[in-house]
Amino acid sequence: MKTSSMYKTLALLLAILTLGVLSACGGDNNEGATDDASAISMMHYYNKELNEPAPTAQLEKLAEFKGENSDIKIDEEIQSHDNYETKIKTLAAGNELPDVFLIKGSMTQTFADNGQILPLDDFLNEKDGWKDQFVEGTMTPYEANGNVYGIPISGGATHLIYYNKDLFAQAGINEFPTTWDEFTTAIDKLNDAGITPIALGNKGKWVMNSSYLSTLANRFTGSEWFQNIMNQEGDAKFTDQQFVDALSAIYQLAQQDAFNANMNSIDNSEQQAMYMNGKAAMFIEGDWAAGTLTSDAPEDILAATEIAIFPAIEGAADEQNTVSGGGGWAYAINADVSEEKLAQIKEMIYHLTNQDAGKLILSKGQIPAITVPGKEDMDIPVLTKKILNIVENNKYVPIYDTVLAPSIIEVMNSNLQNMLIDQVSPEDAAKAIQQEYERKSK
């Protein structure tokens, strides 16, 4: 008897508590909203623990800004990189974007069309000479409808071949191939020597796109073709022979076992790991990988590491000294922020992206989007110096997945994965991409 009545009271208590929690949640939200009115809400993916160059530099600059402006309250929300992308898209769908956040080039058009982000052209001209300090091409991904919507942070290359010259020598290759034919011969030689030629971790699907195809395809098609595709002018099609040739080049690499067998189930950090364990002679990724190699690779591997880009392709029509790159993430401002907050946000973004910030990014081992005066005298990691050298002697071309519509990229990436395992021919892959392109242009 006593226990049953005890249970009853307990259950009732629980029920009341649950209701209380529910209503309390509602209350909290409201309080949060009033709090937000004075603090700038900001979302990013910078993680101190990961020790990545540009994010760490941004965190240090952010702390510095907070120290100098104790009157400005910044409410940070920090996500992991991949979660960040999902979360920002979800928030955009619910029209609940924070005041200041990071966007990728491919998000620009959608966010701008929906009126969710501010055009920043006036802001760029407010600071004397600031706009011209950015490396040419780094803002292109964030342009939409004739306006700039993002201030880029880092602007390095997404295609770089990190190779181990000791393993190359072991296979009888004394210098990095200068033509595509020599490149494919080198791959055969590496295979004969029992070394995995290229470590590939394409589970995230973007590696093949950003680090391979964007550069390789431009060598075949030229920039004009891509501009036509982007502007939907002329009769440029993904089924054009030049583009199919580019896909075929990748297909051929897969056919001659240039990659590890599990390329579609490991990710980019695992491809770096394969390389750092001395299991593979090369891996192809952006300049950010240099930071990881510098801090994590065993000394002998790091000492043997050289950097190259795809060699020139015989018979391909266009410029061959090109590298895809020019901008990864950029700051964007919510279109709904108040005047007062906007002024504060502008100061903050300027502090995070000016030449001082660029210098810090460079000193940590990544290529900033802004030019850095006096970089010759700076003490920067060896690999970063090598990359700077390459970047300065070549021309940036657009990274596909920062400029093409997300749905085309999705179709392209899935087809690339299938092509790598011989499930679809380059011709059919091109057809599928073209189909999605036509559907989007309607």
Partner 1 sequence: MKAKNAIRPSNLKIYMYLLPGLLIYTFVVLVPLFMAARYSLFEWSGGPNMTFVGLQNFATLMQDQVFWKAFGNNLFIIVLSVIGQVGIAFLISVLLTRSWVKWKQFHRTVIFIPNVLAAVVIGFLWSMVYNHDYGLLNNVLSSIGLESWIQPWLDDPDIVMGSVTAPLIWQFIGFYLIIFMAAMQNIPEELYEAAKIDGASAWRQTWYITFPMLKNTFKVTIMLCIAGNMKVFDHIFVMTGGGPGNSSTVMAQYAYDVSFNRFELGYGSAVSVGMLVLSLGLIFISQLIGREKKS
**Shortest Cβ distance from residue 277 to partner 1 (Å)?**
9
Q: What angle do CA 34, 349, 42 make, to 5 degrees?
A: 35
**Shortest Cβ distance from residue 262 to partner 1 (Å)?**
4
Tell me: does residue 395 bind partner 1 (CB under 8 A): no
- CB closer to partner 1 out of 223 and 435: 435
For residues 176 and 400, what is the distance between their CA atoms, to the nearest angstrom? 26
For residues 432 and 429, what is the distance between their CA atoms, to the nearest angstrom? 5
Tell me: does residue 10 bind partner 1 (CB under 8 A): no
Tell me: does residue 423 bind partner 1 (CB under 8 A): yes
Scan residues 243-282 and list those touching partner 1 (CB under 8 A).
Answer: 260-266, 274, 279
Tell me: does residue 18 bind partner 1 (CB under 8 A): yes
Smallest CA-to-CA distance from 160 within 6, 275, 265 is with 275
- CB closer to partner 1 out of 90 and 125: 90
- Candidate ranges 18-26, 129-137, 207-215, 219-227; the one touching partner 1 (CB under 8 A): 18-26
- CB closer to partner 1 out of 15 and 303: 15
Scan residues 71-130 and list those touching partner 1 (CB under 8 A).
Answer: 86, 89-90, 92-95, 110-111, 113-116
What is residue 406's three-state secondary structure? Answer: helix
- Candidate ranges 73-81, 151-159, 211-219, 419-427; the one touching partner 1 (CB under 8 A): 419-427
- CB closer to partner 1 out of 205 and 364: 205
392, amino acid identity: E
**Shortest Cβ distance from residue 209 to partner 1 (Å)?**
12
- CB closer to partner 1 out of 11 and 343: 11
* 160-164 vs 280-285, strand pairing mode: antiparallel
Q: Which of 73, 189, 203, 351 binds partner 1 (CB under 8 A)?
A: 203
For residues 253 and 198, what is the distance between their CA atoms, to the nearest angstrom? 10
**Burial status of residue 377 (CB atoms within 10 A of its CB: 0-12, 13-18, 19 or more):** exposed
- CB closer to partner 1 out of 301 and 380: 301
* 305-308 vs 280-285, strand pairing mode: unpaired
- Candidate ranges 133-141, 244-252, 390-398, 415-423; the one touching partner 1 (CB under 8 A): 415-423
For residues 14 and 2, what is the distance between their CA atoms, to the nearest angstrom? 18
Under rule CB under 8 A, how many of the chain's residues touch partner 1?
42
- CB closer to partner 1 out of 56 and 402: 402
Here the tokens at position 385 are: 């110096």
**Shortest Cβ distance from residue 258 to partner 1 (Å)?**
15
- CB closer to partner 1 out of 232 and 407: 407
- CB closer to partner 1 out of 19 and 317: 19
Smallest CA-to-CA distance from 232 within 100, 55, 370, 109 is with 109
Q: How many CB atoms are located within 10 Å of the residue 435 CB?
A: 14
Tell me: does residue 204 bind partner 1 (CB under 8 A): yes
Q: Which of 13, 19, 169, 378 binds partner 1 (CB under 8 A)?
A: 19
**Burial status of residue 204 (CB atoms within 10 A of its CB: 0-12, 13-18, 19 or more):** middle
Here the tokens at position 72 are: 């400005």
**Shortest Cβ distance from residue 408 to partner 1 (Å)?**
9
Indicate the DSSP class of residue 173: -
SS3 content of the chain, % helix, strand, coil (to 5): 55, 15, 30
- CB closer to partner 1 out of 147 and 371: 147
Which parts of 130-227 are beta strand (E)?
143-144, 147-148, 151-152, 160-164, 196-199
Q: What angle do CA 168, 177, 399 make, to 5 degrees?
A: 105
Return the exposure string of 178-196: e unless at least 16 CB atoms fall within 10 Å of the residue's CB, then b.
Answer: eebeebbebbebbbeeebb
Residues in the site for partner 1, rule: CB under 8 A? Answer: 11, 15, 18-19, 22, 86, 89-90, 92-95, 110-111, 113-116, 203-205, 260-266, 274, 279, 406-407, 409-410, 414-415, 417-418, 420-421, 423-424
